[in-house]
């Protein structure tokens, strides 16, 4: 029996033992991806499924597998995000090592540095939108701590900030044989560490953890702004590191001067170093990213289809990858010959998918929260000037994210559908000028996507 048959049969038996809902939720998207030295590797779509199955069904599954294949000794569950991460390839069942580049193994995040080895400079595609940031990154790697300190990188959602700053950490580690010690932390994690330390009177632990490093990489700093204690602690950490010539690398969704709640003294520290932005990837770069991914996973698509994919998402590399993965999925799993027409259909479907679980009310809520207005104001008749932008943004997002029809949006916001069209076009025009306005739209979108994770 090959892996696929083995798993199919195991699932068949499990299905008989479990309720339909349980089965559908936990096991439907699983796969037996490899077996090696008695260890059977099973992929699951997310962490929830992994924890659940490990705790509840591990024994059952092992029992069934052992009945079918007496070499089975142990199960190992791995999380494979099917969307938007790359899809597992059937043909790779033979060689487990080949998976490593394709799957984001959770357990592989280095506990000492908190870095994910998946992010490297060699997989980072460079174009005019990010070449400054890239050049700065390579310079920092050569002269850690001395020349470009701090390094502040900013740009919209899904444009490669996390990838680049983690890559710096990974490269430094290899280049200096672990003699220079980087540490990566998201600002949410930093905040929760500080809160925990205050509550438990363990501030010393935090100081040790974050000051006893050579390179501190802190992601999405905008979330720290306004949290007094956290900012205070970060400020001291920053100074302690800075004075000892330790490298500090910071990412944010906007430039330092646009983080309204950031304390002045922190802001001026940030501005004192090197700042680089990442803009939207240009067409050539999007094509290069698609081609790179194809090469890495040993897959092929026609030039025409590559062009379609590269044009399907223009302002977010993560979503671009999502579309590509969907196409590859259909090509392999469904054996579909990907021509222009089928590619168009898949693209249409998968770009809709980004909005899959978002409701129109959630859009209204997110816009109202962002502009600090009432939801009723959005649908209300008042002619107050400050309501113009939130309303237009709302109409734009309902169209752009949820692909609702103009008349439907009109009904929802109690406006004429020509007003909706006008608003949509106006916002769209503004965004394409890559204005600060654009940042706002991205932030609202991000808050929308995040509420659904
Ligand atoms: P951000 O932190 O800016 O929101 P990420 O760094 O998480 O974005 O990038 C989103 C996805 O796009 C990741 O899978 C990343 O590897 C990929 N990506 C972004 N920019 C590039 C690039 N220039 N080359 C290759 N992959 C990229
Ligand atoms: Mg990020």
Q: How does pLDDT run across 71-129, given as a tens digit for each residue?
A: 999 999 987 754 333 333 333 233 333 333 334 444 378 989 999 999 999 999 999 88
Task: Give one word for 155, left, alpha or beta, with left for phi > 0 and alpha for psi -120 to 50.
Answer: left
Q: How many CA atoms lie within 13 A of 312 on its CB side?
A: 30
Place of tokens 């924890």: 51
Q: Is the pLDDT assigned to residue 152 strictly greater than 80?
A: yes
Q: Which of 368, 450, 355 is nearest to 413 (CA)?
A: 368
Tell me how far apart the alpha carbons of residues 232 and 267 are, in angstroms, rounded to a whole number: 13
Q: Is the pLDDT assigned to residue 282 strictly greater than 50?
A: yes
Tell me how far apart the alpha carbons of residues 411 and 375 are, in angstroms, rounded to a whole number: 15
Long-range contacts of 49-54 (CB under 8 A, 24+ apart): 49/25, 49/79, 50/77, 50/78, 50/79, 52/26, 53/26, 53/27, 53/77
- Looking at all shown ligands, the one closest to residue 317's CA atom is 1
Q: How far apart are the first and last CA of the chain?
A: 37
Q: Across residues 136-164, what is the average pLDDT?
A: 91
Neighbours of 229 (CB within 10 A): 12
- Range with lowest mean pLDDT among 48-52, 114-118, 305-309: 48-52
Distance 221 CA to ligand 2 centre (A): 10
pLDDT band for position 350 (cuts 50, 70, 90): confident
Token pair for 319: 């979503």
C-beta 157 within 6 A of ligand 1: yes
Q: Is the pLDDT assigned to residue 309 strictly greater than 80?
A: yes
- Three-class secondary structure of residue 33 per DSSP: strand
Q: Across residues 57-71, what is the average pLDDT?
A: 92
**Residue owning the nearest CA to atom 19 of ligand 1:** 160
Place of tokens 């089975």: 72
Q: How far is CA 231 from CA 23, 236, 452, in A?
A: 46, 9, 28
Mutate to test the pocket of ligand 1, among 317, 354, 445 (most ligand atoms within 8 A of CB): 317
What single DSSP character describes residue 91?
A: G
Mutate to test the pocket of ligand 1, among 126, 133, 159, 160 (most ligand atoms within 8 A of CB): 160
Mean pLDDT of the chain, nearest integer: 85
Tell me how far apart the alpha carbons of residues 287 and 41 are, in angstroms, rounded to a whole number: 34
Order the strands of the 215-219 sheet from edge to edge: 182-186, 215-219, 247-252, 151-155, 274-278
pLDDT digit string, tens, across residues 1-19 = 899 999 999 988 887 776 5
Token pair for 280: 């939207």
Distance 372 CA to ligand 1 centre (A): 31
**Residue owning the nearest CA to atom 20 of ligand 1:** 160
What single DSSP character describes residue 245?
A: T
- Three-class secondary structure of residue 151 per DSSP: strand
Q: What angle do CA 389, 390, 395 make, to 5 degrees?
A: 95
- Looking at all shown ligands, the one closest to residue 160's CA atom is 1
C-beta 85 within 6 A of ligand 1: no
**Residue owning the nearest CA to atom 16 of ligand 1:** 163
Q: Is the pLDDT assigned to residue 188 strictly greater than 90?
A: no
C-beta 231 within 6 A of ligand 1: no
pLDDT digit string, tens, across residues 191-221 = 989 989 999 999 999 999 999 999 999 999 9
Tell me how far apart the alpha carbons of residues 238 and 221 are, in angstroms, rounded to a whole number: 12
pLDDT band for position 180 (cuts 50, 70, 90): very high
8 Å CB contact between 166 and 184: yes
Distance 5 CA to ligand 2 centre (A): 39
């Amino acid at each position: 029996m090959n892996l696929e048959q083995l798993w199919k049969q195991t699932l068949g038996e499990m299905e008989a033992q479990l309720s339909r809902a349980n089965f559908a939720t936990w096991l439907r998207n699983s796969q037996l991806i490899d077996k090696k030295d008695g260890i059977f590797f099973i992929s699951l779509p997310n962490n929830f499924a992994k924890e659940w199955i490990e705790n509840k069904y591990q024994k059952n599954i092992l029992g069934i597998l052992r009945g079918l294949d007496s070499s089975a000794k142990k199960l190992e569950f791995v999380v494979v995000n099917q969307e938007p991460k790359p899809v597992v390839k059937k043909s790779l069942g033979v060689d487990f090592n080949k998976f490593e580049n394709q799957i984001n193994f959770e357990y592989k995040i280095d506990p000492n540095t908190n870095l994910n080895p998946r992010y490297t400079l060699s997989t980072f595609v460079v174009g005019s939108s990010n070449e400054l940031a890239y050049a700065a990154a390579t310079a920092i790697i050569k002269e850690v701590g001395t020349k470009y300190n701090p390094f502040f990188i900013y740009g919209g959602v899904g444009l490669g900030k996390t990838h680049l700053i983690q890559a710096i950490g990974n490269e430094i580690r290899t280049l200096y044989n672990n003699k220079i010690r980087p540490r990566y932390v998201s600002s949410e994690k930093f905040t929760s560490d500080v809160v925990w330390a205050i509550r438990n009177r363990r501030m010393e632990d935090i100081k040790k953890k974050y000051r006893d490093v050579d390179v501190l990489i802190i992601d999405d700093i905008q979330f720290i702004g306004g949290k007094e204690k956290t900012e205070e602690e970060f400020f001291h950490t920053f100074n302690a590191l800075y004075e000892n010539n330790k490298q500090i690398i910071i990412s944010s969704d906007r430039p330092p001067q646009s983080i309204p709640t950031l304390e002045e003294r922190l802001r001026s520290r940030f501005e004192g170093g090197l700042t680089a932005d990442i803009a939207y990837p240009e067409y050539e770069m999007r094509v290069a990213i698609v081609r790179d991914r194809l090469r890495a996973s040993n897959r092929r698509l026609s030039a025409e289809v590559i062009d379609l994919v590269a044009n399907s998402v223009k302002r977010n590399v993560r979503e671009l990858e999502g579309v590509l993965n969907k196409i590859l999925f259909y090509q392999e799993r469904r054996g579909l010959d990907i021509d222009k027409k089928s590619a168009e259909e898949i693209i249409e479907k998968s770009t809709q998918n980004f909005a899959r679980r978002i409701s129109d009310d959630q859009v209204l809520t997110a816009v109202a929260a962002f502009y600090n207005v009432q939801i009723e104001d959005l649908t209300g008749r008042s002619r107050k000037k400050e309501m113009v932008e939130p309303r237009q943004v709302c109409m734009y997002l309902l169209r752009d994210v949820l692909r609702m029809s103009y008349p439907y949006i009109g009904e929802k916001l109690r406006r004429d559908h020509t007003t909706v069209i006008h608003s949509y076009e106006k916002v769209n025009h503004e965004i394409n000028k890559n204005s600060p306005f654009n940042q706002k739209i991205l932030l609202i979108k991000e808050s929308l996507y995040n509420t659904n994770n």
